[in-house]
Each structure stands twice: as C-alpha cells, then as structure tokens.
Amino acid sequence: MTTDAVLLLAPRINDTGLQLRTAAGRRGLRAHTATTWRVPEELLGSGQQVHVYGGPLFGDAVGRELGLALLEPPADWLAGLPRELTGRRVSCTTLAEARTLRGPAFVKPPVDKEFAARVYPDGAALPGPELLDGDTGVLVSDVVRFRREYRLFVMDGEVRAASRYAVDGELSVAPLGADGAEVLAFTGDVLAASGPALPSAVVVDVGTTDDGWAVVEANAAWASGGYAADPDGVLDVVLRSAGPLAQLPPADLPFLRELPEVVH
C-alpha cells in the first residue's frame, strides 16, 4: 500500500468507519470522510489510489467516477452450498416466484437491501408489484433460529478478523471468546467448499442453530460493520475489496459490482 493511497469514507460515518480511519492513520494511509454523496473534488484526477468504505448507495455514487472495483459475493452463493453447511434449504429465485409461497419462509434480497430481510408468513406479505418488479432476485430459505452469530473478514481464503455480533437474534457484540476454535474450524470448511466461488476479499457470517453450525450469509466487506473485530484486519480486507480497478486480480473479475453512471 503506497502512501499516496486514500481511504474514502461515506458521509454518515459509523463506528467501523471511525475505527478504520484510525487504523489507516497508523499505517500512513490518508483517510477522507466525504461531506456529500459525490466524489470530493480534490480526489478527481489526483492520481491517488482510492479505496472506499460505506454502504452500497455510497459505493454506487462514487465507484465508477473513481475507477473502483467493488467486490461482492454472487447472489446465488448461499443457495449453492451443500445443506450440511447451510443447515436449511436455500433457493435463489425471483420475487414473482416468492410471491407464490403458501407458508412461512425467510426471504431477503441477496445483495442490496431493496426490502426487509425477515420471516414472511407467506408470499402475499412480500412487497407487491407496485413497489418492486417481479424479476427482482431474492433468496428464500427455511426458517431457522440462530443462537449465536459471528462475522468473519476473509482475504485470500484466510480469516483476518472476526467478531460475534448477535445472540438469539439480538445485537450482542463481543470477541469470539471460547467459541473461537469452533467458529474458525467451521468457517474453514465453508471456505474450502466455496473454492473460487467467492471474491478474494469478503465477509462471511456463520452461526449456531439448535442443530449445529450453519452459514448465515456472505456480504461485501466494503459495506459491512466490523463489530468487535480487529480494525487492522478489517482494514486489510476492506482495502482489497474496494480499490482501483486497474489493480484487480483477474480471478476477482466475476465478482465486480455493476456500478451505475452517476449524472450530476
């Protein structure tokens, strides 16, 4: 990482953004918090290597103009895992198909938060066609209760930072603690099963159910909270997950987020 690199943070900076700003400063990496949802003038044409941390809306707002490669897991990654790792049936389908469900299911958008991810009593309770097109992709899964949930920041197939973030569905942030060895062992199995199906820098969430360990989901590292994870490890993964397109490893090309052209 060169000293002319910049970490650009979204205007509504969260706790993880503050931690990353401090971690960046320790290694001589300049951090810049945007004041608007546009590329700061001083970064345009500056020749500096820009990396970004913020939500999908911020990534979309500045990514194309800055020539960034924003990595995200495939929409169907979770559905493609064996059931012994997911602990439930998971399918990747369309919102139109999900609207035909006749019983309860957990339904979520696979990437962006286009509607609330939660248990729906049936398909009729999902957003209607007047709100979202039927072609919208969704993940549909059996309803399971996660007892404890953990977030792992992964780069090149190795866990660089991790944290617990929930207990019985409620926010509960803490280091891995006594569960650390089991968390890392199960995550290792997940990464081995995934092979090249994930980008080189990504977040994987796992947890325990009444039936054992299971994958929760995968997310883009540049848009994920770090909770109690080591900020330096989180920063390593974030920098790889959202940096200059010109530096992108060829193996990560399939995982590029499609960035819109923003007209000011």
User: pLDDT, tens digit, for every residue of 82-114?
Assistant: 999 999 999 999 999 999 999 999 998 887 778
- Distance, in Å, from the CA atom of 151 to the CA atom of 228, rounded to the nearest integer, reads 9
Instruction: Give the angle subtended at the CA of 177 by the CAs of 175 and 180, to the nearest 5°.
Output: 100
Does the pLDDT of residue 25 top 70, yes or no?
Answer: yes
Residue 29 has pLDDT above 80, yes or no: yes
Rounded to an integer, what distance in angstroms lies between the CA atom of residue 52 and that of residue 63? 8
Closest CA to 142 of 214, 206, 230, 204: 214
Cβ 99 vs Cβ 126: under 8 Å: yes
- Cα–Cα distance list, 182 to 115, 120, 214 (Å): 33, 31, 12
Sign of CA dihedral 25, 36, 52, 194: positive
N-term to C-term CA, the chain? 31
For residue 18, give both structure tokens: 């503050």
DSSP string, 50-102: EEEES-HHHHHHHTTTTTEEEB---TTTGGGS-HHHHSS-EEEEEHHHHTT--
- pLDDT score for 1: 53
Phi-psi region of 227 (alpha: psi -120 to 50; beta: other; left: phi over 0): left
Q: Are strands 137-141 and 148-155 parallel, antiparallel or unpaired?
A: unpaired
User: Contact 153/176 with Cβ under 8 angstroms?
Assistant: no
Q: What pLDDT sits at residue 98?
A: 93
Q: Give the single-character DSSP code of 261.
A: P
Q: Work out the pLDDT band at 174, boundaries 50, 70, 90.
A: very high
Q: What per-residue confidence (pLDDT) applies to 3?
A: 55
Give domain limits for the chain. Answer: 5-71+242-255, 89-141
pTM of the model: 0.93
Q: Is the pLDDT of residue 248 over 90?
A: yes
Q: Are strands 137-141 and 118-120 parallel, antiparallel or unpaired?
A: unpaired
* Mean pLDDT value of segment 210-215: 95
**Exposure class string for 166-189: b at 16+ Cβ within 10 A, else e:** bbeeeeebeebeebeeebeebbee
Q: State yes or no: pLDDT of 2 exceeds 60.
A: no
Q: How many residues does the chain have?
A: 264
Average pLDDT of the segment spanning 236-253: 96
Q: How far apart are CA 124 and CA 131, in angstroms?
A: 13
The dihedral sign for the CA sequence 16, 167, 93, 253: positive
